[in-house]
């Protein structure tokens, strides 16, 4: 019998995600409703469960966005002679 894609899905409670991310449970649910985290409502009464892999993907995306912003700020702070390799360096590191 072929493996189902659902075999590898691990769902966690929003409280666990909130603790890992250092945010509130309401923020985790908002991220799920915005589509930044994959989540489903299961059970009666319905309760949110978040796909653990989507949390990892969200963290990777946030890390990459932060890295790009840091590089952007660094490039804006550099002088053109520093970039072109000519002239005096204003702030040698």
Q: What is the DSSP string of 57-91?
A: HHHHHHHHHHHHHHHHHHHHHS-HHHHHT-S--SS
- Mean pLDDT across 27-46: 94
Question: What total of structural domains would you count in the chain?
Answer: 1
Contact 59, 22 (CB under 8 A): no
Predicted pLDDT at 45: 92
What distance in Å separates the CA atoms of residue 36 and residue 55, rounded to the nearest whole number?
9
Predicted pLDDT at 12: 95
Confidence of residue 1 (pLDDT cuts 50, 70, 90): very low
Q: Please give the model's pTM, rounded to 2 decimal places.
A: 0.70
Residue 25 counted as domain residue = yes
Domain that holds residue 63: 10-77
Indicate whether 76 pLDDT > 50. Answer: yes
Indicate whether 6 pLDDT > 50. Answer: yes
Indicate whether 53 pLDDT > 90. Answer: yes
Collapsing DSSP to helix, strand or coil, 23 comes out as: coil
């Amino acid at each position: 019998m072929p493996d189902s894609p659902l075999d590898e899905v691990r769902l966690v409670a929003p409280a666990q995600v909130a603790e890992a991310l250092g945010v509130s449970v309401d923020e985790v649910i908002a991220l799920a409703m915005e589509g930044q985290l994959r989540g489903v409502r299961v059970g009666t009464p319905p309760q949110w469960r978040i796909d653990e892999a989507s949390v990892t993907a969200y963290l990777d995306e946030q890390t990459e966005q932060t890295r790009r912003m840091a590089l952007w700020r660094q490039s804006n702070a550099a002088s053109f002679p520093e970039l072109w390799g000519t002239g005096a360096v204003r702030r040698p590191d």
